[in-house]
Amino acid sequence: MTTLILGRVLAFPSDPFTTPPQDAAVLHEAVAVADGRIAGTGALDAMRARFPDAEEVDHGDALILPGFVDAHMHYPQTEIIASWGKRLIDWLNTYTFPAEARFHDPTHAAEVANRSLTLALAHGTTSLCSYCTIHPESVDAWFAAAGARNMAVWGGKTCMDRNAPDDLRDTAQTAHDQSAALLARWHGTGRGRYVITPRFSPTSTPEQLAALGALWAEHPDCLMQTHLSEQTDEIAWVRDLFSQARDYLDTYEAHGLLGERGLYGHAIHLEQRERDRLAETGAAVVHCPTSNTFIGSGLFDMGLARRMRVGLATDTGGGSSFSMLRTMAAAYEIAQLRGEALHPAKLLWLATEGSARALHAADRIGTLAEGSDADLVVLDLASTPAIAQRSHHAADIWEAVFPTIMMGDDRAVAAVYVAGQRVPR
């Protein structure tokens, strides 16, 4: 059975960071979905001729995009989002670690995993790459909750064997063994993919980093995620803890944790050598703009997108919003502070294909290419009076969508499809 979904369908045949942004996109009138996958995009007449028996769902002049892809978040921090007054290390100790300590309880983990995915979908996010907690139960809960919704998610056990409370520490050996068991259980189960997850160098001994580096070498098709150079205090701490390292990135590289399938969250205060090594190895960095302003971390350099893959992410709950629209707005504001006006095509591309590329998954999600999984978000570009009065006199699609990027939230999300199925409200 084929369904034709009608609206203003925005596809990106090219990368707007390498093509003039307004030329990187095309507008279609319909997207065809069959068996959970995209069967085609095009003009309405052509699509009706190609799929004569299709049923139609008409979203009027709403904008249809691939579902948003959140390339770095912490689902266990859902209920501490928007906690006041701290910077990174204090914020971790005051809010994050106490919240994460509760995830030994499978009932709690399941409840928060479900709430987090419900919130994500309400905001138009159909794929997420999450840190779980030290507890294997938190990983089981994440993949089970996503599997029940048929969502493509990534996640892994967050490993820490020092500088964390007693009830949130594992060891080099248990981090390796529990990660290996979870990887065997969840990597490739349904649409789930396991991610090897050392939290960051300050909370892992060199032995633990090496154990996880060895695990990654055994499973090179897995992603590995961690944090890199988010705050200057953190970088100074890493320098103290790893006196032989050339820089922060070197603490990962020396333990087998730098590679093409590595995802480095934040990556704000980088040395030139670190930029060069990230680019040479083909690694991806993930921009977490609402978090970087909320926790006071710094201004990410979007110029990195010319040299390496860059994903976009909420970083819930260091980030202050579940919305990838708000996240795009923050990315725009940060780029403005650095003297660059990011075109809306770049923002939308980062939140979809850019993040999917960072996850090495652009063949499955983040685009409207034929054969891709049919995860879609439908945006009402006049969802509030303030947005409507601006978008109604837009000269082109970019002027029509930019007010929703800057001022939109979950009210702009008119519909969401996961693997071709419309998600009930």
Element holding 407 (H helix, E strand): helix 397-407
Query: x/- site string to Zn ion, residues 285 to 324, per CB under 5 A?
Result: ------------------------------x---------
- Bridge partners of 262, per DSSP, are 224
Residues binding Zn ion: what is the number (CB under 5 A)?
2
Asked if 247 and 228 touch (Cβ cutoff 8 Å), the reply is no
Q: Which residue is nearest to ligand GUN (CB)?
A: 318
At residue 354, φ and ψ (nearest 5 deg) are -60, -50
199 is an interface residue for ligand GUN by CB under 6 A: yes
Cβ closest to Zn ion, residue 19 vs residue 94: 94
**Burial label, 219 (beta-carbon count in 10 A; 0-12, 13-18, 19+):** middle
Cβ closest to Zn ion, residue 88 vs residue 361: 88
Cβ closest to Zn ion, residue 228 vs residue 381: 228
Cβ closest to Zn ion, residue 100 vs residue 315: 315
Two structure tokens written together for 109: 């983990």
Residues binding ligand GUN: what is the number (CB under 6 A)?
11
96 binds, among ligand GUN, Zn ion, none (CB under 5 to 8 A by kind): ligand GUN
96 is an interface residue for ligand GUN by CB under 6 A: yes
Query: x/- site string to ligand GUN, residues 201 to 240, per CB under 6 A?
Result: --------------------------x--x----------
Cβ closest to ligand GUN, residue 54 vs residue 313: 313
Q: What is the DSSP secondary-structure string of 174-208?
A: HHHHHHHHHHHHHTTSTT-EEEEEE--GGGS-HHH
Q: How many CA atoms lie within 13 A of 204 on its CB side?
A: 27
- Residue 97: CB atoms within 10 A of its CB come to 18
Give the burial string for 229-245 (b: 16+ CB within 10 Å, else e).
Answer: bbbeebbebbeebbeeb
Angle at 361 between CA 291 and CA 29, to 5 degrees: 95
Stretch that binds ligand GUN, among 18-26, 88-96, 178-186, 358-366 (CB under 6 A): 88-96
245-251 long-range Cβ contacts below 8 angstroms, 24+ apart: 246/273, 247/271, 247/273, 247/274, 248/201, 248/274, 249/273, 249/274, 249/277, 249/278, 251/201, 251/209
Q: Which residues contact 159 (CB under 8 A, 6 or more apart)?
A: 134, 170, 175, 179, 197, 198, 199, 204, 208, 212
Number of H-type helices and E-type strands within the chain: 17, 16
155 is an interface residue for ligand GUN by CB under 6 A: no
200 is an interface residue for ligand GUN by CB under 6 A: yes
Q: How far is the CB of 307 from ligand GUN (least distance, A)?
A: 23
Cβ closest to ligand GUN, residue 274 vs residue 380: 274
The CA distance from 258 to 281, in Å, is 7
Q: How far is CA 27 from CA 31, 129, 231, in A?
A: 11, 29, 40
Q: Which of residues 205-264 bind Zn ion (CB under 5 A)?
A: none
199 binds, among ligand GUN, Zn ion, none (CB under 5 to 8 A by kind): ligand GUN
The CA distance from 153 to 247, in Å, is 31
> 74, 149, 261, 275: which one contacts ligand GUN (CB under 6 A)?
74
Q: How far is the CB of 123 from Zn ion (least distance, A)?
A: 18
Query: x/- site string to ligand GUN, residues 281 to 310, per CB under 6 A?
Result: ----------x-------------------
277 binds, among ligand GUN, Zn ion, none (CB under 5 to 8 A by kind): none
Query: x/- site string to ligand GUN, residues 325 to 364, per CB under 6 A?
Result: ----------------------------------------
Cβ closest to ligand GUN, residue 270 vs residue 348: 270
315 is an interface residue for ligand GUN by CB under 6 A: yes
Cis geometry, peptide bond prior to residue 366 (ω within 30 degrees of 0): no
Site residues for ligand GUN per CB under 6 A:
74, 88, 92, 96, 199-200, 227, 230, 291, 315, 318
Give the residues lining the site for Zn ion (CB under 5 A).
265, 315
